[in-house]
């Protein structure tokens, strides 16, 4: 979704009514929303603002449960043993679509879930400490080439989008680097600040640290430069034919009643466009990318095809 669509989508969303007892007896108790990353990162910040807005929309509390680990697949795995009553739903990040093509998993991303609502994606970037000698991405590449196997680059999880993208970048430059996976941005960033790694491929949760002068951004992975860091080049500007955003949405267990899916989507759509939540998206430089159940289902199928092809191309199939 282009950024110019965000404002229009937000205006449209403000007209949506709240979902609650006035319209249906669903929901009549709290809804649990499982997310795939630990507290403290960009996903956690976005999802907690989203849950607050969804609580207002539904008239029932939406409770965040952090379920990190498993390559960001734990919430998806949990849906396999969850009642399809609409009271427990899961974040469905890109690794949950990709990982089943890399190793044996207990679910099929194409067939084993009920798509509800697509939400947003990440602004990814490569960051270093401000004390780092790397002033630009070219500096990092040159040093990595001069010191094969010595440069440590963190990421937000093994086989996640930052990890695989950094593999692609290293391959394009013929670099030998050490990829260091963490459980999420909240773990990777402290390791970077502490000097345990030289750089990190991470998300937009680093915004405040960059503004505080603790981190430096070497590149961003979006289609256009970030409004926040207008002097930082994109991967495309650096000569790589890559735009990486790692979109995600919400799914439920297989077999949910269409009426429950519709009501969930209405409430989540209202929450997505809630002004307080939109402000958090802007602060984190995350796009608003609403899709309803049918469009999101088609998106998952399309993305699964793309990720299966990517895994094959990189030789990552287990």
Block residue for tokens 């391959």 = 171
Residue 68: count of CB within 10 angstroms of its CB: 23
Binning pLDDT at 50, 70 and 90, where does residue 106 land? very high
pLDDT value at residue 316: 84
Q: Is 290 exposed, middle or buried (0-12, 13-18, 19+ CB in 10 A)?
A: buried
In the chain, beta strands by DSSP E: 31-35, 62-66, 88-92, 113-120, 125-129, 152-155, 178-181, 199-202, 215-220, 248-253, 288-291
pLDDT, average across residues 193-208: 92
- Give the chain's mean pLDDT: 91
**Is 11's pLDDT higher than 70?**
no
Q: How many percent of the chain have pLDDT more than 70?
A: 92
Beta strand 62-66 with 31-35 is: parallel
- Region for 252 from its dihedrals, namely left if φ exceeds 0, alpha if ψ lies in -120 to 50, beta otherwise: beta
Binning pLDDT at 50, 70 and 90, where does residue 75 land? very high
Please give the structure tokens belonging to residue 272. 């997505």
Whole-structure pTM over 0.85, yes or no? Answer: no
Give me the phi and psi of 162, to 5 degrees please.
-60, -40
pLDDT value at residue 1: 46
pLDDT value at residue 19: 44
Binning pLDDT at 50, 70 and 90, where does residue 318 land? low
Q: pLDDT digit string (tens) for 174-187? A: 999 999 999 888 89
**Is 188's pLDDT higher than 90?**
yes
Contact, 272 vs 119, CB < 8 A? yes
pLDDT value at residue 9: 44
pLDDT value at residue 122: 86
């Amino acid at each position: 979704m282009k950024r110019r669509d965000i404002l229009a989508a937000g205006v449209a969303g403000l007209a949506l009514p709240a979902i609650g007892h006035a319209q249906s007896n669903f929901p009549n108790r709290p809804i649990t929303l499982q997310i795939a990353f630990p507290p403290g990162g960009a996903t956690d910040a976005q999802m907690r603002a989203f849950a607050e807005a969804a609580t207002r929309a539904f008239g029932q509390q939406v409770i965040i449960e952090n379920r990190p680990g498993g390559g960001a697949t734990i919430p998806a795995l949990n849906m396999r043993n969850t009642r399809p009553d609409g009271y427990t739903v899961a974040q469905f990040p890109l690794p949950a679509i990709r990982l089943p093509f890399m190793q044996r998993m207990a679910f099929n991303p194409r067939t084993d879930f009920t798509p509800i609502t697509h939400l947003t994606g990440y602004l990814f970037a490569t960051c270093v400490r401000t004390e780092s000698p790397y002033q630009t991405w070219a500096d990092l590449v040159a040093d990595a080439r001069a010191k094969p196997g010595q440069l440590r680059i963190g990421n937000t999880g093994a086989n996640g989008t930052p990890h695989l993208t950094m593999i692609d970048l290293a391959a394009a430059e013929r670099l030998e680097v050490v990829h260091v996976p963490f459980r999420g941005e909240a773990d990777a960033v402290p390791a970077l600040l502490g000097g345990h790694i030289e750089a990190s491929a991470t998300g937009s949760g680093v915004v405040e640290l960059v503004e505080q002068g603790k981190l430096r951004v070497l590149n961003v992975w979006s289609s256009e430069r970030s409004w926040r860091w207008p002097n930082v080049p994109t991967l495309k500007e650096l000569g790589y034919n890559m735009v990486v955003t790692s979109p995600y949405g919400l799914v439920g267990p297989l077999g949910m009643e269409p009426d429950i899916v519709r009501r969930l989507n209405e409430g989540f759509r209202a929450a997505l466009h809630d002004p307080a939540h939109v402000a958090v998206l802007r602060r984190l430089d995350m796009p608003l990318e609403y899709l309803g159940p049918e469009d999101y289902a088609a998106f998952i199928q399309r993305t699964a095809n793309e990720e299966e092809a990517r895994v094959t191309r990189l030789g990552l199939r287990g």
